[in-house]
Amino acid sequence: MSTGERDFKKLIRQDVQSMHAYAIQDSMGMVKLDAMENPHRLPAALQAHLGQRLGAVALNRYPDGRVNELRHALADYAQMPEGFDIMLGNGSDELISLLAMACDVSGEAAGSGRPAAAILAPLPGFVMYGMSAQLQGLKFIGVPLTPDFELDEAAMLAAIAEHRPSIIYIAYPNNPTANLWDDAVIDKVIAAAPGLVVMDEAYQPFASKSYIDRIARHGHVLLMRTMSKFGLAGVRLGYMMGPKALIAEVDKVRPPYNISVLNYECALFALEHAEVFAAQAEDIRAQRTVLVNALQALPEVKTWKSDANMVLVRVPDAAKTFEGMRSRGVLVKNVSKMHALLGDCLRLTVGTADENALMLAALKESL
């Protein structure tokens, strides 16, 4: 080792060295249907208008009070109840990390009456819940869903009683299974939770139900959403609503300028044109119906119903079908190794009518 070099193997945490980096697939030149993005771009006239708006932004200054205009606009858009407040993250990914940081208290498990520093979520689910726990040095408790991807009520309640988690994540709808949950089971989980419950509504624009009109019943339930699936995945803007006093505490761990001037100006602009994005979401929901119907007509493919802009399917050989589709220029997500319950499953993002037709053709040829 030369002078000045350091042995990073000794400097970097052992658990970080053992981790895999979050894998982003190379999608150059592909029909990209792997990450639940909105396939529609901003209409050309709005692009020019937004360009002017962004050009006029004071890039020389730190983000200022205008970020609060976005907080208020989002609260109105989401119909946040009285007594609640809203905080913003650089994507909901950041909010998930900040929550783990804020809840890192040394609790004790069963018997103490105090929540332990653990995070609990059903599996298969969104990977960031587990990752945020691990990076913060917290325990992660993954509770398997039933084989038909419903919440396992008995297993959830038993795990909550045993581990007394500080945070429970309920993705509503779930990723990658795309379904909503039985409301009665959600109520029992919320009632049994000794800590916080986060309803993660990332896929709300495509869902038939939301928890927004029920959060005010509780003092320990937070509702998280993102502008990503709405149509601004590139902007990175997530938001979380909860009782005022609770949000005030969590917000203290947020880096002060986490939302750039460009992020908030884009998000404000998008909300001023919410009807454009609502029409895009409506198109995606309509295309989802067409896609699911076509998939259900394939006898070798098992298709689950979806409340999101993705459809989970099981094929006879996921690796073969995934590679076959990729070689035909269509990129989806092979989730078959993510969890034992997902054997031979692929996750298909709902695209435009044309993209979905290409995806279906590639899928059929690759079975």
Work out how close the CB of 344 gets to ligand PMP at its nearest, in angstroms, rounded to a whole number: 21
Which of 205/324 has CB closer to ligand PMP? 205
258 near ligand PMP, rule: CB under 6 A? no
**Which of the ranges 17-25, 146-154, 225-233, 276-284 carries the binding residues for ligand PMP, by CB under 6 A?**
225-233
Contact criterion met (CB below 8 Å) for 328 and 28 = no
Choosing from 228, 263, 280, 356, the residue that interacts with ligand PMP (CB under 6 A) is: 228
Cβ pair 359, 31 in contact under 8 A: yes
Q: Of 85 and 200, which CB lies nearer to ligand PMP in the complex structure?
A: 200
- How does strand 196-200 pair with strand 221-226? parallel
Where do runs of H (alpha helix) occur along 256-317? 261-272, 274-296
Question: Which residue in this structure is represented by tokens 């109840």?
Answer: 81
The nearest distance, CB 35 to ligand PMP, in angstroms, is 7
Piece of 204-212, 226-234, 257-265, 284-292 that binds ligand PMP (CB under 6 A):
226-234
Cβ proximity of 304 and 179 under 8 Å? yes
Cβ nearer to ligand PMP, comparing 156 with 202: 202
- Per rule CB under 6 A, count of chain residues that contact ligand PMP: 13
Q: Which of residues 119-138 bind ligand PMP (CB under 6 A)?
A: 126
119 φ/ψ angles, rounded to the nearest 5 degrees: -120, 135
Minimum distance from residue 272 beta carbon to ligand PMP (Å): 20
Q: Which residue has the tokens 């939770």?
A: 193
Among 31, 33, 34, 36, binds ligand PMP (CB under 6 A): 36
User: Looking at residue 195, what DSSP letter applies?
Assistant: S
* Bridge partner list, 185: none
Exactly one of 38, 166, 226, 309 binds ligand PMP (CB under 6 A); that residue is 226
Among the listed residues 357, 311, 327, the one whose alpha carbon sits nearest the alpha carbon of residue 34: 311
Short-list 212, 270, 301, 209, CA closest to 38: 270
How far apart are the C-alpha atoms of 132 and 43, rounded to whole Å? 36
Select 200 or 265, whichever has its Cβ closest to ligand PMP: 200
Q: Which is nearer to ligand PMP, 167 or 202 (CB)?
A: 202
Looking at beta carbons only, is 22 or 62 nearer to ligand PMP? Answer: 22
The contact pattern for ligand PMP, residues 182-221, with x = CB under 6 A and - = no contact, is ------------------x-x-------------------
Residues 38-97 that bind ligand PMP (CB under 6 A): 91-93
Smallest separation, CB 232 to ligand PMP (Å): 9
Asked whether 155 and 143 are in contact (CB, 8 A), the reply is yes
> Which of 115, 124, 205, 238 touches ligand PMP by CB under 6 A?
238
Neighbours of 67 (CB within 10 A): 19
Nearer of residues 171 and 212 to ligand PMP, judged by Cβ: 171
Using the Cα atoms of residue 347, residue 139, residue 86 and residue 197 in order, give the sign of their dihedral: positive
Nearer to ligand PMP, 36 or 259 (CB): 36
Residue nearest to ligand PMP (CB): 91
Q: Is the bond leading into 205 cis (omega within 30 degrees of zero)? A: no
Burial 260-272 (b: 16+ CB within 10 A, else e): bbebbbbbbbbbe
Q: Which of 80, 145, 171, 246 binds ligand PMP (CB under 6 A)?
A: 171
Between CA 155 and CA 146 the distance in angstroms is 9
* Whole-number Å distance between alpha carbons of 165 and 115: 5
Of 116 and 332, CB closest to ligand PMP = 332
SS3 content of the chain, % helix, strand, coil (to 5): 45, 15, 40
Nearer to ligand PMP, 34 or 265 (CB): 34
Binding site for ligand PMP (CB under 6 A): 36, 91-93, 126, 171, 175, 200, 202, 226, 228, 233, 238
